[in-house]
Amino acid sequence: MKNYLLGLGFILSLTGCAGMPTPTDKPFTEVTQIVELPGQSKDKLFESSKIWMAKNFKSSNDVIQYADKNTGSIIGKGTIQYPCKGFMDCSAFGKDYIGFTLKIDTKDNKARISFADLTWKSMPSVNAGVVNRGGEFPLRTVQMQAQVKEKLDSIIEQYKSDVVKQQSDNW
């Protein structure tokens, strides 16, 4: 019994060592990157971008909200699962999502990818007796913003490799 109480006391003392998230007043609403794609025409990039969006953002709603071949612009809505890291983060936010508006502008040899209107969609849950009603919120901690930016940057890299692969699929 004594060992049990000592072990429990040790574990409880470790929970106090967990760092508190760092709140921020700086809004985090957009991630934009220009991707260089040499040898790709505007029209090919436009069509490849539409295919990429349809394949990568599955939704019960239409992903692509607007597409204009003349201007080379595609606008869509999407969500990704919150990119949690570690046991505590995934226990708290593992079922949550990040919602966004995705805009891809194409020109010859390049595309601009913008993720805007970033919101954290907290799902209703009960965890260890704590009720979370859910809702939509801004990304309000430095850690959340960094994790989401890292995930969106990896999606942009995936876009680049997938569009190049589509152009080289020669069967």
pLDDT score recorded for residue 130: 77
The residues spanned by each domain of the chain are 29-168
pTM of the model: 0.79
CATH code of the region 29-168 = 3.30.530.80
Q: Using pLDDT thresholds of 50, 70 and 90, give the confidence band for residue 73.
A: very high
pLDDT tens per residue across span 103-124: 999 999 999 999 999 999 988 8
pLDDT tens string 120-168: 998 887 777 778 788 888 888 888 899 999 999 999 999 999 988 876 6
Query: How many C-beta neighbours within 10 Å does residue 74 have?
Result: 25
> For residue 109, is it left (φ>0), alpha (ψ between -120 and 50) or beta?
left
**Residue 39 token pair:** 């040898």
